[in-house]
């Protein structure tokens, strides 16, 4: 079972990077339960997850530097076939990938939507999903690697909307 300490960063699928603020035990209905008190790094939203539910909640550590390199590799792939199904079916598929919490699946969604955007207008839902995937990945990647290293490639800068 994955454990975290106060001050650790982790990823909570669908929400993004969280920081473990405290660990506390509460008694509810005669049963003592230990919780991770976490705060979303981007918004400050507070979340409590029982330490016994870490796996089912999908809480995981920040990716390693080598995993971050794999993510950047996925983002740079241009030779991929994007499914030409209806936008709502594509949206559902992409949403399933994002819900897994896998940084690699989220990177695929971001890359696919970015490439699709170059060909045609994205639906409102797809634009929101592109922004969501971008923000979920950006925070974790900048924690896993240096920002200079991350943005040394023009195509990665373009995907994240970084200029200069």
The structural domains of the chain, ordered by start, are 9-61 (2.40.10.170), 65-160 (1.20.58.1290)
What would the DSSP string read from start to end of 42-98?
A: TT--EEEEEGGGHHHHT-EEPPPHHHHHHHHHHHH----PPP-S-HHHHHHHHHHHH
Band of the pLDDT at 42, cuts 50, 70, 90? confident
pLDDT at residue 60 tops 80: yes
pLDDT digits (tens, 9 = 90+) for 22-35: 999 999 899 999 99
Q: What are phi and psi of 68, to 5 degrees?
A: -65, -35
Give the mean pLDDT of 36-56: 93
Give 90 or 152, the one with higher predicted confidence: 90
Give 153 or 114, the one with higher predicted confidence: 114
CB 144 within 8 A of CB 67: yes
Residue 53: per-residue pLDDT = 93
* pTM for the structure as a whole: 0.83
Share of the chain above pLDDT 90, in %: 50
Residue 164: per-residue pLDDT = 55
């Amino acid at each position: 079972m994955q454990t975290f300490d106060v001050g650790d960063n982790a990823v909570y699928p669908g929400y993004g990077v969280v920081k473990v603020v405290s660990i506390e035990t509460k008694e509810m209905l005669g049963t003592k339960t230990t919780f991770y008190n976490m705060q979303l790094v981007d918004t400050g939203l507070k979340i409590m997850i029982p330490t016994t539910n870490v796996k089912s909640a999908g809480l995981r550590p920040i990716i390693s530097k080598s995993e971050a390199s794999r993510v950047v590799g996925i983002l740079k792939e241009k030779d991929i076939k994007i499914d030409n199904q209806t936008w709502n079916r594509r949206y559902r598929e992409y949403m399933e990938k994002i819900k897994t919490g896998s940084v690699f699946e989220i990177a695929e969604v971001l890359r696919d939507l970015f490439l699709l955007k170059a060909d045609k207008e994205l639906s409102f839902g797809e634009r929101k999903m592109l922004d969501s995937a971008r923000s979920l990945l950006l925070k974790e990647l900048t924690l896993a690697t240096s920002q200079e290293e991350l943005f040394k490639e023009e195509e990665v800068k373009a995907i994240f909307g970084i200029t200069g």
